[in-house]
Structure 1
Amino acid sequence: MAAKSEQTRQKVAEAALRMFREIGFEKTTMRGIAAEAGVSVGNAYYYFASKDDLVHELYVQVQAEHAGLAANALLEASGLADRLRAVLHTGLDVMAPYHRFGSDFVATAIRPTSPVNPFSANSTSAREASLATFRTAVEGARPAVPKKLRADLPELLWLCYMGITLFWVYDSSEGQQRTRRLVDGAAPLIARGLALARIPGVSKVLDDVLGLSRSIRGGQ
Protein backbone atom coordinates (compact mmCIF):
# COMPACT_ATOMS: atom_id res chain seq x y z
CA MET A 1 0.00 0.00 0.00
CA ALA A 2 2.85 2.36 0.84
CA ALA A 3 4.46 1.72 -2.54
CA LYS A 4 1.17 2.33 -4.36
CA SER A 5 0.62 5.53 -2.39
CA GLU A 6 4.07 6.79 -3.33
CA GLN A 7 3.44 5.91 -6.98
CA THR A 8 0.21 7.91 -6.95
CA ARG A 9 1.92 10.86 -5.29
CA GLN A 10 4.67 10.73 -7.92
CA LYS A 11 2.10 10.62 -10.75
CA VAL A 12 0.43 13.75 -9.39
CA ALA A 13 3.78 15.54 -8.99
CA GLU A 14 4.95 14.59 -12.48
CA ALA A 15 1.65 15.73 -14.01
CA ALA A 16 1.89 19.08 -12.23
CA LEU A 17 5.49 19.72 -13.26
CA ARG A 18 4.67 18.76 -16.83
CA MET A 19 1.78 21.25 -16.86
CA PHE A 20 3.93 23.96 -15.27
CA ARG A 21 6.38 23.54 -18.17
CA GLU A 22 3.73 23.37 -20.89
CA ILE A 23 1.04 25.87 -19.87
CA GLY A 24 2.53 27.73 -16.90
CA PHE A 25 1.79 28.06 -13.21
CA GLU A 26 -1.21 30.40 -13.52
CA LYS A 27 -3.15 28.22 -15.97
CA THR A 28 -2.45 25.01 -14.11
CA THR A 29 -5.26 23.97 -11.76
CA MET A 30 -5.54 21.17 -9.24
CA ARG A 31 -8.49 19.80 -11.25
CA GLY A 32 -6.36 19.81 -14.40
CA ILE A 33 -3.47 18.14 -12.57
CA ALA A 34 -5.78 15.41 -11.31
CA ALA A 35 -7.12 14.79 -14.82
CA GLU A 36 -3.59 14.70 -16.26
CA ALA A 37 -2.49 12.24 -13.58
CA GLY A 38 -5.59 10.08 -13.97
CA VAL A 39 -6.69 10.42 -10.34
CA SER A 40 -9.64 12.04 -8.60
CA VAL A 41 -9.43 15.67 -7.52
CA GLY A 42 -9.76 14.55 -3.91
CA ASN A 43 -6.85 12.18 -4.37
CA ALA A 44 -4.69 14.98 -5.77
CA TYR A 45 -5.53 17.16 -2.77
CA TYR A 46 -4.73 14.27 -0.43
CA TYR A 47 -1.09 14.38 -1.51
CA PHE A 48 -0.75 18.10 -2.20
CA ALA A 49 -2.93 20.65 -0.41
CA SER A 50 -2.45 23.28 -3.12
CA LYS A 51 -0.43 24.30 -6.15
CA ASP A 52 2.01 25.91 -3.73
CA ASP A 53 2.90 22.48 -2.38
CA LEU A 54 3.61 21.41 -5.93
CA VAL A 55 5.91 24.40 -6.44
CA HIS A 56 7.95 23.07 -3.53
CA GLU A 57 8.04 19.75 -5.36
CA LEU A 58 9.36 21.64 -8.39
CA TYR A 59 12.03 23.32 -6.25
CA VAL A 60 13.18 19.99 -4.85
CA GLN A 61 13.27 18.29 -8.25
CA VAL A 62 15.14 21.18 -9.88
CA GLN A 63 17.72 21.18 -7.09
CA ALA A 64 18.21 17.42 -7.30
CA GLU A 65 18.74 17.64 -11.06
CA HIS A 66 21.03 20.63 -10.63
CA ALA A 67 23.14 18.77 -8.07
CA GLY A 68 23.67 15.89 -10.49
CA LEU A 69 24.60 18.09 -13.46
CA ALA A 70 26.84 20.30 -11.34
CA ALA A 71 28.67 17.32 -9.84
CA ASN A 72 29.61 16.11 -13.32
CA ALA A 73 30.66 19.58 -14.47
CA LEU A 74 32.76 20.13 -11.34
CA LEU A 75 34.83 17.04 -12.12
CA GLU A 76 36.49 19.03 -14.90
CA ALA A 77 36.87 22.33 -13.02
CA SER A 78 39.48 23.15 -10.38
CA GLY A 79 39.73 26.92 -9.99
CA LEU A 80 36.95 28.75 -8.15
CA ALA A 81 35.97 30.79 -11.23
CA ASP A 82 35.54 27.67 -13.36
CA ARG A 83 33.69 25.84 -10.58
CA LEU A 84 31.35 28.75 -9.99
CA ARG A 85 30.73 29.08 -13.71
CA ALA A 86 29.94 25.34 -13.88
CA VAL A 87 27.41 25.54 -11.04
CA LEU A 88 25.69 28.62 -12.41
CA HIS A 89 25.46 27.36 -16.00
CA THR A 90 24.08 23.97 -14.96
CA GLY A 91 21.54 25.78 -12.80
CA LEU A 92 20.37 27.72 -15.86
CA ASP A 93 20.29 24.49 -17.88
CA VAL A 94 17.92 22.87 -15.38
CA MET A 95 15.61 25.89 -15.25
CA ALA A 96 15.49 26.37 -19.02
CA PRO A 97 12.21 24.40 -19.61
CA TYR A 98 10.39 26.80 -17.26
CA HIS A 99 11.64 30.06 -18.73
CA ARG A 100 8.48 30.93 -20.64
CA PHE A 101 6.55 31.00 -17.38
CA GLY A 102 9.28 32.21 -15.05
CA SER A 103 7.52 35.51 -14.39
CA ASP A 104 4.45 33.58 -13.16
CA PHE A 105 6.55 31.87 -10.51
CA VAL A 106 8.28 35.12 -9.55
CA ALA A 107 4.96 36.94 -9.15
CA THR A 108 3.86 34.21 -6.75
CA ALA A 109 7.14 33.69 -4.91
CA ILE A 110 8.32 37.28 -4.49
CA ARG A 111 5.72 38.17 -1.85
CA PRO A 112 7.39 38.01 1.60
CA THR A 113 4.45 36.06 3.01
CA SER A 114 4.24 33.62 0.10
CA PRO A 115 4.69 29.99 1.17
CA VAL A 116 6.76 29.42 -1.98
CA ASN A 117 9.16 32.28 -1.31
CA PRO A 118 12.65 30.72 -1.71
CA PHE A 119 13.68 32.29 1.61
CA SER A 120 10.72 30.85 3.54
CA ALA A 121 10.82 28.04 6.07
CA ASN A 122 8.74 25.92 3.68
CA SER A 123 11.53 26.13 1.10
CA THR A 124 14.25 25.02 3.51
CA SER A 125 14.91 21.60 1.97
CA ALA A 126 15.33 22.96 -1.57
CA ARG A 127 17.41 25.89 -0.33
CA GLU A 128 19.71 23.61 1.67
CA ALA A 129 20.15 21.36 -1.37
CA SER A 130 21.18 24.35 -3.46
CA LEU A 131 23.54 25.58 -0.76
CA ALA A 132 25.15 22.13 -0.67
CA THR A 133 25.94 22.43 -4.38
CA PHE A 134 27.66 25.77 -3.86
CA ARG A 135 29.44 24.37 -0.80
CA THR A 136 30.87 21.56 -2.93
CA ALA A 137 32.08 24.09 -5.49
CA VAL A 138 33.83 26.16 -2.83
CA GLU A 139 35.38 23.29 -0.86
CA GLY A 140 36.85 21.63 -3.94
CA ALA A 141 38.41 24.77 -5.42
CA ARG A 142 42.16 24.76 -6.05
CA PRO A 143 43.89 26.91 -5.00
CA ALA A 144 41.79 26.75 -1.86
CA VAL A 145 39.47 29.59 -0.95
CA PRO A 146 40.84 31.58 2.03
CA LYS A 147 39.80 29.75 5.20
CA LYS A 148 37.96 32.69 6.74
CA LEU A 149 35.60 32.80 3.74
CA ARG A 150 34.75 29.12 3.33
CA ALA A 151 31.90 28.91 5.82
CA ASP A 152 30.07 32.03 4.58
CA LEU A 153 30.85 31.94 0.88
CA PRO A 154 28.34 29.26 -0.24
CA GLU A 155 25.41 31.29 1.08
CA LEU A 156 26.73 34.52 -0.40
CA LEU A 157 27.13 32.79 -3.76
CA TRP A 158 23.61 31.37 -3.45
CA LEU A 159 22.30 34.90 -2.96
CA CYS A 160 24.15 35.94 -6.13
CA TYR A 161 22.49 32.97 -7.84
CA MET A 162 19.06 34.27 -6.77
CA GLY A 163 19.89 37.61 -8.38
CA ILE A 164 21.08 35.92 -11.57
CA THR A 165 17.90 33.83 -11.62
CA LEU A 166 15.78 36.98 -11.46
CA PHE A 167 17.81 38.48 -14.32
CA TRP A 168 17.30 35.22 -16.28
CA VAL A 169 13.52 35.33 -15.77
CA TYR A 170 13.29 38.66 -17.59
CA ASP A 171 16.03 37.94 -20.14
CA SER A 172 14.31 37.89 -23.54
CA SER A 173 17.47 37.28 -25.55
CA GLU A 174 17.60 34.08 -27.58
CA GLY A 175 18.47 31.19 -25.30
CA GLN A 176 18.95 33.77 -22.52
CA GLN A 177 22.44 34.44 -23.82
CA ARG A 178 22.69 37.70 -21.90
CA THR A 179 22.40 35.75 -18.67
CA ARG A 180 25.03 33.30 -19.88
CA ARG A 181 27.38 36.21 -20.60
CA LEU A 182 26.65 37.62 -17.16
CA VAL A 183 27.70 34.31 -15.59
CA ASP A 184 30.85 34.09 -17.72
CA GLY A 185 31.85 37.61 -16.74
CA ALA A 186 30.84 37.56 -13.08
CA ALA A 187 32.45 34.24 -12.08
CA PRO A 188 36.09 35.31 -12.67
CA LEU A 189 35.42 38.74 -11.13
CA ILE A 190 34.14 37.10 -7.95
CA ALA A 191 37.10 34.71 -7.84
CA ARG A 192 39.63 37.52 -8.34
CA GLY A 193 37.92 39.63 -5.69
CA LEU A 194 38.09 36.80 -3.16
CA ALA A 195 41.75 36.22 -3.92
CA LEU A 196 42.39 39.73 -2.57
CA ALA A 197 41.37 38.44 0.88
CA ARG A 198 45.03 37.59 1.46
CA ILE A 199 46.03 41.27 1.24
CA PRO A 200 45.92 42.81 4.77
CA GLY A 201 44.03 46.01 3.92
CA VAL A 202 41.49 44.29 1.70
CA SER A 203 41.18 41.46 4.21
CA LYS A 204 39.86 43.94 6.79
CA VAL A 205 37.17 45.12 4.36
CA LEU A 206 36.12 41.53 3.73
CA ASP A 207 35.97 40.95 7.49
CA ASP A 208 33.55 43.87 7.73
CA VAL A 209 31.45 42.48 4.87
CA LEU A 210 31.30 39.05 6.50
CA GLY A 211 30.42 40.60 9.83
CA LEU A 212 27.55 42.52 8.26
CA SER A 213 26.33 39.40 6.45
CA ARG A 214 26.37 37.37 9.69
CA SER A 215 24.54 40.08 11.63
CA ILE A 216 21.78 40.24 9.01
CA ARG A 217 21.36 36.48 8.91
CA GLY A 218 21.38 36.31 12.69
CA GLY A 219 18.47 38.72 12.80
CA GLN A 220 16.20 36.63 10.60
Structure 2
Amino acid sequence: MFREVGFEKTTMRAIAAEAGVSVGNAYYYFASKDELVQELYRQVQDDHAALAAQAIAEQTAAGKTDLASRLKATLHAGLDVMAPYHRFGADFIATAIRPASAVNPFSADSLQARAESLSIFRTAVEGSKPQVPKKLRADLPELLWLGYMGITLFWVYDASEGQRRTRRLVDGAAPLIARGLQLARVPGVGKIIDEVLDLSRSVRK
Protein backbone atom coordinates (compact mmCIF):
# COMPACT_ATOMS: atom_id res chain seq x y z
CA MET A 1 0.00 0.00 0.00
CA PHE A 2 2.91 2.37 0.65
CA ARG A 3 4.04 1.70 -2.93
CA GLU A 4 0.57 2.04 -4.45
CA VAL A 5 -1.03 5.00 -2.66
CA GLY A 6 1.82 6.61 -0.73
CA PHE A 7 2.77 6.85 2.91
CA GLU A 8 0.37 9.60 4.00
CA LYS A 9 -2.70 8.02 2.41
CA THR A 10 -2.01 4.58 3.86
CA THR A 11 -3.96 4.05 7.08
CA MET A 12 -3.93 1.26 9.65
CA ARG A 13 -7.61 0.62 8.85
CA ALA A 14 -6.81 0.20 5.16
CA ILE A 15 -3.85 -2.04 5.96
CA ALA A 16 -6.03 -4.22 8.18
CA ALA A 17 -8.68 -4.50 5.44
CA GLU A 18 -6.04 -5.42 2.84
CA ALA A 19 -4.58 -8.05 5.19
CA GLY A 20 -8.03 -9.46 5.97
CA VAL A 21 -7.87 -8.85 9.71
CA SER A 22 -9.73 -6.60 12.13
CA VAL A 23 -8.36 -3.17 12.96
CA GLY A 24 -7.96 -4.27 16.58
CA ASN A 25 -5.96 -7.30 15.48
CA ALA A 26 -3.68 -5.10 13.36
CA TYR A 27 -3.06 -2.81 16.32
CA TYR A 28 -2.25 -5.82 18.49
CA TYR A 29 0.84 -6.50 16.36
CA PHE A 30 1.72 -2.93 15.35
CA ALA A 31 0.78 -0.03 17.61
CA SER A 32 1.00 2.49 14.76
CA LYS A 33 1.85 2.99 11.13
CA ASP A 34 5.28 4.13 12.29
CA GLU A 35 5.95 0.66 13.71
CA LEU A 36 5.08 -0.80 10.32
CA VAL A 37 7.65 1.54 8.77
CA GLN A 38 10.28 0.29 11.21
CA GLU A 39 9.45 -3.24 10.09
CA LEU A 40 9.84 -2.07 6.49
CA TYR A 41 13.22 -0.52 7.40
CA ARG A 42 14.41 -3.86 8.76
CA GLN A 43 13.12 -5.77 5.75
CA VAL A 44 14.89 -3.37 3.38
CA GLN A 45 18.15 -3.75 5.35
CA ASP A 46 17.89 -7.56 5.25
CA ASP A 47 17.33 -7.46 1.50
CA HIS A 48 20.15 -4.94 1.05
CA ALA A 49 22.55 -7.09 3.07
CA ALA A 50 21.76 -10.19 1.02
CA LEU A 51 22.00 -8.43 -2.34
CA ALA A 52 25.18 -6.56 -1.38
CA ALA A 53 26.83 -9.81 -0.23
CA GLN A 54 25.97 -11.41 -3.56
CA ALA A 55 27.26 -8.42 -5.53
CA ILE A 56 30.51 -8.27 -3.54
CA ALA A 57 31.01 -12.02 -4.03
CA GLU A 58 30.66 -11.52 -7.79
CA GLN A 59 33.18 -8.67 -7.67
CA THR A 60 35.61 -10.83 -5.69
CA ALA A 61 35.21 -13.72 -8.14
CA ALA A 62 36.12 -11.29 -10.92
CA GLY A 63 39.27 -10.29 -9.03
CA LYS A 64 37.91 -6.91 -7.89
CA THR A 65 38.59 -6.62 -4.16
CA ASP A 66 39.35 -2.89 -3.98
CA LEU A 67 37.17 -0.63 -1.85
CA ALA A 68 35.80 1.30 -4.83
CA SER A 69 34.40 -1.87 -6.42
CA ARG A 70 32.97 -3.17 -3.14
CA LEU A 71 31.46 0.19 -2.27
CA LYS A 72 29.95 0.62 -5.73
CA ALA A 73 28.41 -2.88 -5.52
CA THR A 74 27.02 -2.12 -2.06
CA LEU A 75 25.48 1.21 -3.07
CA HIS A 76 23.93 -0.14 -6.26
CA ALA A 77 22.46 -3.04 -4.27
CA GLY A 78 20.82 -0.51 -1.95
CA LEU A 79 19.31 1.36 -4.89
CA ASP A 80 18.03 -1.91 -6.36
CA VAL A 81 16.29 -2.81 -3.11
CA MET A 82 14.73 0.65 -2.73
CA ALA A 83 13.58 0.90 -6.35
CA PRO A 84 10.01 -0.36 -5.74
CA TYR A 85 9.47 2.36 -3.12
CA HIS A 86 10.56 5.34 -5.21
CA ARG A 87 6.98 6.41 -5.91
CA PHE A 88 6.26 7.31 -2.29
CA GLY A 89 9.80 8.39 -1.37
CA ALA A 90 9.14 12.14 -1.33
CA ASP A 91 6.03 11.78 0.85
CA PHE A 92 7.93 9.55 3.22
CA ILE A 93 10.90 11.92 3.47
CA ALA A 94 8.51 14.74 4.40
CA THR A 95 7.50 12.69 7.43
CA ALA A 96 10.87 11.14 8.27
CA ILE A 97 12.82 14.39 8.15
CA ARG A 98 11.06 15.80 11.22
CA PRO A 99 13.43 15.47 14.22
CA ALA A 100 10.71 14.09 16.52
CA SER A 101 9.40 11.59 13.96
CA ALA A 102 9.61 7.95 15.02
CA VAL A 103 10.48 7.04 11.43
CA ASN A 104 13.44 9.41 11.30
CA PRO A 105 16.42 7.17 10.34
CA PHE A 106 18.47 8.86 13.10
CA SER A 107 15.87 8.24 15.83
CA ALA A 108 16.14 5.77 18.70
CA ASP A 109 13.26 3.81 17.14
CA SER A 110 15.38 3.25 14.03
CA LEU A 111 18.40 1.99 15.99
CA GLN A 112 18.11 -1.65 14.89
CA ALA A 113 17.69 -0.85 11.19
CA ARG A 114 20.52 1.70 11.40
CA ALA A 115 22.83 -0.88 13.02
CA GLU A 116 22.01 -3.40 10.29
CA SER A 117 22.79 -0.84 7.59
CA LEU A 118 26.09 0.07 9.27
CA SER A 119 26.98 -3.62 9.27
CA ILE A 120 26.56 -3.71 5.47
CA PHE A 121 29.09 -0.91 5.02
CA ARG A 122 31.39 -2.46 7.62
CA THR A 123 31.50 -5.63 5.53
CA ALA A 124 32.41 -3.62 2.42
CA VAL A 125 35.25 -1.88 4.27
CA GLU A 126 36.72 -4.81 6.18
CA GLY A 127 37.02 -7.11 3.19
CA SER A 128 38.68 -4.66 0.82
CA LYS A 129 42.20 -5.18 -0.45
CA PRO A 130 44.36 -3.22 -0.11
CA GLN A 131 43.02 -2.51 3.33
CA VAL A 132 41.69 0.88 4.34
CA PRO A 133 44.22 2.83 6.46
CA LYS A 134 43.92 1.58 10.03
CA LYS A 135 43.06 4.97 11.52
CA LEU A 136 39.93 5.11 9.33
CA ARG A 137 38.52 1.60 9.69
CA ALA A 138 36.47 2.12 12.84
CA ASP A 139 34.83 5.35 11.71
CA LEU A 140 34.49 4.73 7.99
CA PRO A 141 31.35 2.51 7.99
CA GLU A 142 29.32 5.20 9.75
CA LEU A 143 30.71 7.95 7.53
CA LEU A 144 29.79 5.88 4.47
CA TRP A 145 26.31 5.30 5.89
CA LEU A 146 25.87 9.05 6.32
CA GLY A 147 26.95 9.48 2.70
CA TYR A 148 24.42 6.81 1.72
CA MET A 149 21.71 8.86 3.45
CA GLY A 150 22.68 11.77 1.21
CA ILE A 151 22.57 9.55 -1.87
CA THR A 152 19.15 8.28 -0.78
CA LEU A 153 17.85 11.85 -0.54
CA PHE A 154 19.21 12.56 -4.02
CA TRP A 155 17.53 9.35 -5.26
CA VAL A 156 14.17 10.36 -3.77
CA TYR A 157 14.07 13.50 -5.90
CA ASP A 158 15.72 11.96 -8.98
CA ALA A 159 13.03 11.99 -11.68
CA SER A 160 15.28 10.56 -14.40
CA GLU A 161 14.25 7.22 -15.89
CA GLY A 162 15.29 4.44 -13.56
CA GLN A 163 16.99 7.12 -11.43
CA ARG A 164 19.99 6.89 -13.76
CA ARG A 165 21.42 10.17 -12.42
CA THR A 166 21.74 8.58 -8.98
CA ARG A 167 23.43 5.58 -10.56
CA ARG A 168 25.95 7.89 -12.24
CA LEU A 169 26.52 9.61 -8.89
CA VAL A 170 27.36 6.26 -7.28
CA ASP A 171 29.65 5.25 -10.15
CA GLY A 172 31.56 8.51 -9.84
CA ALA A 173 31.58 8.87 -6.06
CA ALA A 174 32.79 5.38 -5.10
CA PRO A 175 36.23 5.63 -6.76
CA LEU A 176 36.63 9.24 -5.58
CA ILE A 177 36.01 8.17 -1.99
CA ALA A 178 38.46 5.27 -2.29
CA ARG A 179 41.19 7.48 -3.76
CA GLY A 180 40.57 10.16 -1.16
CA LEU A 181 41.04 7.65 1.66
CA GLN A 182 44.46 6.73 0.37
CA LEU A 183 45.54 10.30 1.11
CA ALA A 184 45.56 9.29 4.77
CA ARG A 185 48.91 7.61 4.05
CA VAL A 186 50.46 10.82 2.70
CA PRO A 187 52.60 12.71 5.24
CA GLY A 188 50.94 15.99 6.20
CA VAL A 189 47.55 15.01 4.79
CA GLY A 190 47.15 12.42 7.54
CA LYS A 191 46.97 15.26 10.08
CA ILE A 192 44.01 16.77 8.25
CA ILE A 193 42.31 13.36 8.19
CA ASP A 194 42.80 13.13 11.96
CA GLU A 195 41.14 16.50 12.42
CA VAL A 196 38.21 15.45 10.22
CA LEU A 197 37.78 12.26 12.26
CA ASP A 198 37.95 14.20 15.54
CA LEU A 199 35.25 16.56 14.29
CA SER A 200 33.09 13.67 13.13
CA ARG A 201 33.39 11.92 16.49
CA SER A 202 32.59 15.09 18.41
CA VAL A 203 29.29 15.71 16.59
CA ARG A 204 28.22 12.06 16.93
CA LYS A 205 28.48 11.99 20.73
- TM bucket by the smaller chain? over 0.9
The corresponding residue for 1:93 is: 80
The corresponding residue for 2:186 is: 199
CA distance in 1, matches of 2:189, 2:4: 49
Q: Report whether the alignment pairs 1:63 with 2:19.
A: no
The corresponding residue for 1:106 is: 93
The corresponding residue for 2:62 is: none
CA distance in 2, matches of 1:121, 1:200: 39
Structure 1 residues 127-206: aligned runs within 5 Å? 127-206=114-193
User: What fraction of aligned residue pairs are identical, expressed as a percent?
Assistant: 78
When normalised by structure 1's length, the TM-score is: 0.90
Deviation of residue 158 (structure 1)? 0.2
- Render the CA deviation track for 1:79-116: whole Å, top value 9, x for unaligned: 10011101100000000000011011101100001011
Deviation of residue 155 (structure 1)? 0.1
The corresponding residue for 1:49 is: 31
The corresponding residue for 2:199 is: 212
Structure 1 segments, 4+ long, off by >4 Å, are: none
Aligned AA for 2:3? R
CA distance in 1, matches of 2:168, 2:53: 22
CA distance in 1, matches of 2:88, 2:204: 31
CA distance in 2, matches of 1:34, 1:189: 47
Deviation of residue 21 (structure 1)? 1.5
Deviation of residue 22 (structure 1)? 1.7
CA distance in 1, matches of 2:28, 2:143: 37
The alignment partner of 2:9 has SS state of coil
Paired residues in the alignment total: 200
Q: CA RMSD in A?
A: 0.6
Deviation of residue 76 (structure 1)? 2.8
CA distance in 1, matches of 2:116, 2:22: 32
CA distance in 2, matches of 1:177, 1:50: 35
The corresponding residue for 2:16 is: 34
| Higher relative contact order (Cα pairs below 8 Å, separated by 6+ residues) | 2
Deviation of residue 43 (structure 1)? 0.4
CA distance in 2, matches of 1:125, 1:20: 21
CA distance in 1, matches of 2:140, 2:58: 21
CA distance in 2, matches of 1:26, 1:215: 36
Match of 2:105 among 99, 113, 118: 118
CA distance in 2, matches of 1:83, 1:216: 28
Q: Point out where structure 2 has 5 or more consecutive residues left out of the alignment.
A: 60-64
CA distance in 2, matches of 1:21, 1:140: 35
When normalised by structure 2's length, the TM-score is: 0.96
